[in-house]
Structure 1
């Protein structure tokens, strides 16, 4: 059955939104820490900046998801982009700890606001034009691929721009002189990210049209958010399929935390210096995002080949656990072939998580009504973030070597085994809520 032009247009717009929103974080990833330390901040202060970002994003995940379900996707998504624009300007130009802290807090708030509305808008639009049983996995996979590609491109561009400004005679010095020292080369990718975020806001307001929602007063909005959040939390406790999606998200968060915490130190130990280790880690991170994008692109094929979305999640998370296991068994060796195996394991983790993601999200959307869709995505994101934070604390207290990697592999494998058996209760999900009636076909 051919797709309607509206569905194809929605997919293109969703992919464009993913690129525009995730390119700025990629641009700022490589220069952020050197920029802060170049302005006299200690590593402890830099860790505090990132903690402010993470805690703000985690604290606002559920309220902002409820806000999107009550007010609408476009308004909340544009607000997230606007906050991110201001945040990147503050981080790019800020020279004091309080300005940088406030910038990271606003960045976390923008991240929380934008964590679910774009995907929720896409699903709502497809359901409106093709019915609640419409195929979602292809569009979700392309969105995940676009996100990974934008992050990878941003990392490469964000690392290359300051280097180019430094090696090309006169460019870096001319920039400092023209801005009276306010914009060093390391700040250029961050400020470029602010420009992209501003474009993102304009595109969202112009392109993401949605059906008008009932006019609500301020009090009605404030009353509606807690009820929507409570409904999202209840769904995770009473629905077995949603519960498995949330537990899988937590296992994914643990795996990503292990990669982000353990890989940089391992790269430094391998190369011998912090600078060369940072370059190696940037290259690995870029390769990881490329593999995640490739895995997302293969998500629909994997589900068809495996016979169902559930089996695709099982295969993807299992592959990721195998990659972590490979990193664990190679943790104490430095021979070239062993490093190649470790690199393959690193890429396998991202590839497996990319394969599992689209099927997980389609399964979630099949269970959640439109009125709670963004909240459910926020609950999923919160599970990932909290599990990642807890894993970071636990792994940070373990001795370096294979044990932290193997522990992370065990957690991700546990998430995969949740999908080994499919309870009969999951066979025919029933969607209820505003604008959703009847049953939808089994996800295959």
Structure 2
């Protein structure tokens, strides 16, 4: 098996990791087991703190020892996560699950992109990285659409718990496939392995010497954090609009379907527009879209939510490509982990504000808070990126 086989294996792993019918009714299941919006936000903060603490150490382990081993470890923890959720009835059960999910996310986040880029680099195809990232996300969304459509039907007919057993089966398939990955040779500009502390110093120096990369990563962090609160709370948003659960799967599939074009076309758009232009457009849509969602409080807000998802698809391939084309392979997973660390640090800050505002003004007020943050970031990115982002 050659390292280029890693590309389709990673796609297959992503497919089964996203074949999770539990996600379409997750917030309702948690609410059924006694979890309020505030308690969910607390678990989100616990998740984010876990990632902040472990993201960089797991990235260093991936760079120093094995990217494949970290991906396998993440799949094992994913299986444990859904097994526990079937029996969860108290807050600490859900807290334990998000800790496992956070560790699993840390294990995979930097490792996956690093293994993908170095696999392409070994075959002389590193210029296809943005396209490959987009296709991995397409695997995510297609699988997610299947899971959402089936999940809402199954939940309506058989109850919520069956969806969690099926999700456990999907994660088990991802685990089996991850064992087939091949560790690529690391093509580094440094001849000797780095010491552990050197990984951190080298990563921090990289971001300091590349302000344009830092800004692009920050744009991906802010939009990713904002999009996270659509992923996590759209079910409650639809519930507030009195939309029946039977339609949740169709709506979830619609969200993912709209993310496909951006992921598939990001590499082509970069031939006609600069990264700065595309990212500014995406952030502007986020700010305007969340503002309308917060103000409308009716079915028309769904259209704004869908437009946000349409533009969100271009952000991750652009940000990931901008970062990895400028990164040395010896610290690739660590650098990517720093990106994920920043994302989850922002999750903590936004989550505290979102939870505080949502308690007082429900989900609509929470989305208004995110609109304000996106608007402020648009102004900052527009000014700061004029000379540093290509």
TM-score range, shorter chain: 0.7 to 0.9
Q: Please give the per-residue CA displacement for 1:70-91, whole angstroms capped at 9, x wherever unaligned.
A: 1111111001111111221111
Count of matched residue positions in the alignment of Structure 1 and Structure 2: 380
User: Relative CO higher for 1 or 2, CA cutoff 8 Å, sep ≥ 6?
Assistant: 2
Which residue matches 1:142? 135
Which residue matches 2:177? 203
Which residue matches 1:28? 22
Which residue matches 1:56? 50
Alpha-carbon offset, residue 113 of structure 1: 0.8
Which residue matches 1:440? none
Q: Say which of 273, 287, 292 aligns to 2:259.
A: 292
Which residue matches 1:410? 375
Cα separation, 1, equivalents of 2:172 and 2:293:
44
Which residue matches 1:391? 350
Matched, 1:236 2:210: no
CA contact (8 A) 1:246 1:379 kept: no
Matched, 1:14 2:10: yes
Structure 2 length-normalised TM:
0.83
Which residue matches 2:323? 364
Structure whose CA Rg is larger: 1
Alpha-carbon offset, residue 348 of structure 1: 2.1
Cα separation, 2, equivalents of 1:59 and 1:160:
38
Structure 1 range deviating more: 34-43 or 116-125: 34-43
Alpha-carbon offset, residue 67 of structure 1: 1.2
Q: Say which of 260, 282, 285 aligns to 1:322.
A: 285
Matched, 1:72 2:66: yes
Q: Please give the per-residue CA displacement for 1:320-372, whole angstroms capped at 9, x wherever unaligned.
A: 5225414424644467xxx44x3332222222221122122111111111111
Instruction: For 1:129-208, list aligned pairs within 5 A.
Output: 129-130=123-124, 134-165=127-158, 185-208=159-182
Cα separation, 2, equivalents of 1:224 and 1:103:
33
Matched, 1:114 2:108: yes
Alpha-carbon offset, residue 40 of structure 1: 5.4
SS class of match (1:190): helix
CA contact (8 A) 1:74 1:210 kept: no
Cα separation, 2, equivalents of 1:323 and 1:76:
33
Alpha-carbon offset, residue 124 of structure 1: 0.3
Which residue matches 1:374? 333
CA contact (8 A) 1:254 1:411 kept: no
Which residue matches 1:105? 99
Distance 1:158 1:206, change over 3 A: same
Which residue matches 1:174? none
SS class of match (2:272): helix
Distance 1:69 1:283, change over 3 A: same
Q: Say which of 280, 295, 303 aligns to 2:270.
A: 303
Matched, 1:248 2:242: no
Structure 1 range deviating more: 15-24 or 373-382: 15-24
Alpha-carbon offset, residue 416 of structure 1: 5.4
Cα separation, 2, equivalents of 1:137 and 1:421:
23
SS class of match (2:314): helix
Alpha-carbon offset, residue 374 of structure 1: 1.2
Alpha-carbon offset, residue 201 of structure 1: 1.8
Cα separation, 1, equivalents of 2:233 and 2:75:
31
Structure 1 range deviating more: 229-238 or 68-77: 229-238
Q: Please give the per-residue CA displacement for 1:267-321, whole angstroms capped at 9, x wherever unaligned.
A: 44433xxxx3766666544322222222101112211232x4x24xx32441452
Structure 1 length-normalised TM:
0.74
Long gaps (5+) in structure 2? 188-192
Over the aligned positions, Cα root-mean-square deviation in angstroms equals 3.4
Long gaps (5+) in structure 1? 166-184, 214-220, 428-444
Q: Please give the per-residue CA displacement for 1:171-201, whole angstroms capped at 9, x wherever unaligned.
A: xxxxxxxxxxxxxx42222222222222212
CA contact (8 A) 1:245 1:360 kept: yes
